[in-house]
Structure 1
Amino acid sequence: MINHRMLHRRKNSLGNKVFVFLNTIFMVLFVIITLYPVWNTMVLAFNDGTDALRGGLYLWPRKWTLQNYITVLHKKNLLVGAYVTVARTVIGTLTALAANALLAYIVSRKRFLFKRQLSLFWVITMYVNGGMIPVFLLYKGLGLTNSFLVYVIPGMVGAFNMMVIRTYMAGLPDSLEESAQLDGAGDLVIFTKIISPLCKPVYATIALFCAVGHWNSWFDAMLYNRMNANLTTLQYELMKLLSSVSNQSNSVESMKNAVAAVTPTSVRSAATILTMLPIVCLYPFLQRYFVTGLTIGGVKG
């Protein structure tokens, strides 16, 4: 009873109220600072490009228009790039999640003899790589250039993702696996029926990491598939679009843009919003798993 009263007084103390007030103000300001650049980019994307040159756009478009988005969506190869990016994101995320989960299950088992050596090997790959030219020559020798598989196979196994899943699995009770073995279950049944259902938080976290990485990637498309217009990604096409509107010197193209009331800044803003929109829509469905999976499955020394 005394402890309850002391706790109640501590919660209602002046110092605690001041802390809650200042913490609330700080968090509100932090959210505003974080979201304002995105909001301002959206304002520019929905505002007339010529009107935006006057400046003074902060919280609301002054002259509404969809021409910026129309200009972006009418660009050549953009639709093909969107199809390739969606396919890459879905297939790449699923294969990476399956491969990392299987490897994590193997090295998380106490009876596996070489788990320390393999874990050390994968950690080294996080800091040491062969470099761009050797990697390009390797992919070319394997026939991965000018191929969709270059988006999927090289990213199937990630040392960081595997270590996060391994740490999460190692924290599960050993009694679950032992009881399943007593009932005659093999490793595949244990992994699919017992371990994996308990790993949904960390799986969702890694899936979000992989999906964002695949969706935002454009450099590999430029290196390995730039000569094949049917295999370029959305991000690569948008990068070319931003480069073209930034370095526009053709008078005919400039006249078209003047008539359409778009500018490089407005087109860039519209392209940015279109690029981030799918991930923003996906995140709320995975957010409830994100914190749990990341903290419990964090790599520990």
Structure 2
Amino acid sequence: MKRRSVSGLVFDISNHLFLILVFCVMVLPFLYIISYSVSNPSLLKGGLILFPVGFTFDSYKLAFQDPAIITGIFISVARTIIGPIVMLFFTSMAGYVLTRRELVGAKFFRKYFVFTMYVSSGLVPMYIAMNLLHLTGTFLIYVLPGAISIFNMILIKTYIESVPKSLEEAAIIDGANDFVLFFKVIFPVCMPVLAAVTLFTCVNQWNTFIDAQIYNTMYPNLYPLQYVLYNTLTSVSSLEQLQRQAAESQPLATPQSLKMAITVITILPIACVYPLLQKYFMKGLLIGSIKG
């Protein structure tokens, strides 16, 4: 018993130390970015800072004067709202159809959809297809390609299969057709999984910028906020522009503080929402593990 207690104590201490290390690795860099973005660069002496030095919002004021930031926020918010709604409508109906016993070739369609998760057409054929559909250079490129999500469809299908069949039979006896059965009976019952997949899609839509880099790189008015940040951090011309703006308008802003401010503007919205909705993510993950 004494050995078990000692080993348990060692395990608890090791576990706490590991979690503290993970916390430091994940949180301290973010604290550094926030502190740097609201600090007076002339008072900074280098090294790691966890608290603001010479508190100022000049970097944020200058960042919001950039039209690309305002446009990026609008595009990111629009795709984060519209994309999940479109995905939820089409993907949920596809998941419902695959649960129907009377569907001809149901096994084939299930295997076909799963197959697409492991094998893709490749970047060049995908770009050619999007170009032939006249989606390149438009906002719809952020919405329509993700209208069907196979992973989310499998989660929804699995959840619908767990709904008691007696509920559907009662609705059919009352004269409900497939549309009434889905939208008035199945859809409301599936709110937990629908909330989970919607949150998955919202986070993905907010964070992604690869589609803008591939399809809309020649259309700055369609850049999401993440791609604006990417250009700011990597583009020499963007850095030179930041240097000119910092020198002309805000004496307490530097290119480095501006990059930190833009990074915070990009991360903060989803970082605030994610902890509040964590339970739906966990519920969505458990759906697939309970019943395959």
- The CA deviation at 1:94 is 0.4
Q: Work out which of the residue numbers 124, 129, 140 in structure 1 matches 2:115.
A: 124
**1:39 corresponds to 2:37:** no
**Matched residue SS, 2:118:** coil
When residues 42 and 17 of structure 1 are mapped into structure 2, their CA distance, relative to the original with a 3 A threshold, is: same
**Matched residue SS, 2:176:** coil
The answer for unaligned runs of 5 or more in structure 1 is 1-9
When residues 90 and 248 of structure 1 are mapped into structure 2, their CA distance, relative to the original with a 3 A threshold, is: closer
CA RMSD of aligned residues (A): 3.0
**1:151 corresponds to 2:142:** yes
Which residues of 2 match residues 220-259 of structure 1 at below 5 A? 220-244=211-235, 248=239, 253=244, 256=247
**1:190 corresponds to 2:212:** no
C-alpha distance in 1 between matches for 2:40 and 2:90: 47
What residue identity is the alignment partner of 1:35? V
When residues 299 and 238 of structure 1 are mapped into structure 2, their CA distance, relative to the original with a 3 A threshold, is: farther
CA contact (8 A) 2:246 2:253 kept: no
CA contact (8 A) 1:72 1:271 kept: yes
What residue identity is the alignment partner of 2:163? L
When residues 243 and 67 of structure 1 are mapped into structure 2, their CA distance, relative to the original with a 3 A threshold, is: farther
C-alpha distance in 1 between matches for 2:21 and 2:243: 46
The answer for unaligned runs of 5 or more in structure 2 is none
- The CA deviation at 1:121 is 1.2
Q: TM-score normalized by structure 2?
A: 0.85
- The CA deviation at 1:259 is 5.9
C-alpha distance in 2 between matches for 1:285 and 1:255: 36
- The CA deviation at 1:30 is 3.6
Q: TM-score normalized by structure 1?
A: 0.83
What residue identity is the alignment partner of 2:287? I
Deviates most, 238-247 or 108-117 = 238-247
**Matched residue SS, 2:89:** helix
Q: Work out which of the residue numbers 57, 71, 90 in structure 1 matches 2:81.
A: 90
CA contact (8 A) 2:62 2:250 kept: no
CA contact (8 A) 2:232 2:239 kept: no
When residues 109 and 24 of structure 1 are mapped into structure 2, their CA distance, relative to the original with a 3 A threshold, is: farther
**1:270 corresponds to 2:267:** no
**Matched residue SS, 1:230:** helix
C-alpha distance in 2 between matches for 1:251 and 1:230: 19
What residue identity is the alignment partner of 1:186? N
- The CA deviation at 1:111 is 3.5
**Matched residue SS, 1:108:** coil
Deviates most, 139-148 or 72-81 = 72-81
**Matched residue SS, 2:175:** coil
CA contact (8 A) 2:231 2:238 kept: no
**Matched residue SS, 1:118:** helix
- The CA deviation at 1:26 is 4.6
**Structure 1 match to 2:105:** 114
What residue identity is the alignment partner of 1:48? N
CA contact (8 A) 2:196 2:280 kept: yes
C-alpha distance in 1 between matches for 2:23 and 2:191: 28
CA contact (8 A) 2:58 2:250 kept: no
When residues 242 and 258 of structure 1 are mapped into structure 2, their CA distance, relative to the original with a 3 A threshold, is: farther
CA contact (8 A) 1:46 1:64 kept: yes
Deviations along 1:35-73, one digit per CA (max 9) or x if unpaired, are 222222212222223444x22333212222212222322
Which residues of 2 match residues 51-62 of structure 1 at below 5 A? 51-52=43-44, 54-62=45-53
CA contact (8 A) 1:145 1:224 kept: yes
**1:48 corresponds to 2:44:** no
- The CA deviation at 1:204 is 1.5
CA contact (8 A) 1:202 1:297 kept: no
Q: Work out which of the residue numbers 190, 194, 206 in structure 1 matches 2:197.
A: 206
- The CA deviation at 1:83 is 1.4
When residues 244 and 50 of structure 1 are mapped into structure 2, their CA distance, relative to the original with a 3 A threshold, is: farther
CA contact (8 A) 1:242 1:264 kept: no
**Structure 2 match to 1:180:** 171
**Structure 1 match to 2:158:** 167
- The CA deviation at 1:212 is 1.4
Q: Work out which of the residue numbers 34, 53, 57 in structure 2 matches 1:66.
A: 57
Between the aligned residues of both structures, percent identity stands at 36
Deviates most, 212-221 or 27-36 = 27-36
